[in-house]
Structure 1
């Protein structure tokens, strides 16, 4: 009797890198790491949206510290699978973070340009401390010298979608993270 191959969660996925269960386990682990860093103290979470929305929400559920939440919106991909080169701040922070401990959360550290842009923006606001946490680290694509303090998973240079990550604003709702089929990695007619 041969083993049956489990089909991908979505027909547009070439493969699944991380299942819903693997994501939950790692997010729980990151929550424990944050507890070791911050103890019972308060800190401010800044989520880079839209991509980090699901990761941020799940991570917040794993910590019992008093936290404040703010978001910054950055645009760098549009309808492409490669960064447009220069990330742009679309919507900035609203909370005062001066003299506060700040945790910056992003979905993926790719070229590094977005994380560098936002960390520079946050540093100008004089936080007491600044740490970065990314769900995925694609080191093979780094173009600027930046590393995250906390990393969920290191991944190969593949275009991934799901669990907040998108292609042309689609697929964010997938419960897993998978590789988009190469033949679908061109700007769609509906974008």
Structure 2
């Protein structure tokens, strides 16, 4: 599909699933080298990163544990500027390598908040892997260890990303048609 309609908005295809798969594979290859001896805790930030996390974790070849947190910082089409923790950590993080798996880093507020929270637990190191990064939207100084694709500051849906709950199931990524 070249164009889709979700609720009252129209979106155009910008990143086909094949490009996402290639970027995911490249990220997994780098992680396989970097993390093979670290036994990390891989943390999927819900809801958006569920598709990326599932695809990435199928490709990692090192021992790891997988966990989930649910955070919210968006309403409608914009960031609220605050991060609400809806489901938190259950695992012991002290002394661990923790890898946050995020669908997209735009303002950086969510990732910064999560990294700071994990560091307070005494984690050995906190790494961030994101499928998508919007450099033009980033408002925080954050270290991104693994980046799939850099994208412009457009509103997007698909591959886990949504517009008011719709579009997460799409295998491609679409940008809002203005």
Question: Scaled by the length of structure 2, what TM-score is found?
Answer: 0.92
Q: Which residue of 1 aligns with 2:116?
A: 120
Residue 146 of structure 1 pairs with residue 142 of structure 2:
yes
Structure with max Cα Rg? 1
Q: Which residue of the partner structure matches residue 58 of structure 1?
A: 55
CA distance in 2, matches of 1:42, 1:85: 33
Structure 1 partner of 2:4: 10
Distance 1:37 1:95 in 2: 22
Instruction: Tell me the alpha carbon deviations over residues 134-154 of structure 1, each in whole angstroms, 9 at most, x when there is no partner.
Output: 111111111222231111111
Q: 1:15 to 1:147 in 2, by over 3 A?
A: farther
Q: Deviations over 1:53-80 (max 9, x none)?
A: 01001000011211111111111112x1
1:32 correspondence with 2:26: no
The correspondence of residues 18-97 of structure 1 with structure 2, limited to 5 A, is 18-78=15-75, 80-97=76-93
Q: Distance in 2 between matches of 1:102 and 1:138?
A: 23
Q: Is the 2:36–2:61 Cα contact (8 Å) retained in structure 1?
A: no
- Counterpart Cα distance in 1 of 2:172 and 2:112: 27
Give the match's secondary structure for 1:111.
coil
- Equivalent residue for 2:160? 164
What TM-score results when the alignment is normalised by the length of structure 1? 0.86
Distance in 2 (CA, whole Å) between partners of 1:178 and 1:147 is 26
Deviation at 1:87, TM superposition (A): 1.5
User: If each structure's strand is expressed as a fraction of its own residues, which one has the higher value?
Assistant: 2
Aligned length: 175
Cα RMSD, aligned residues only: 1.4
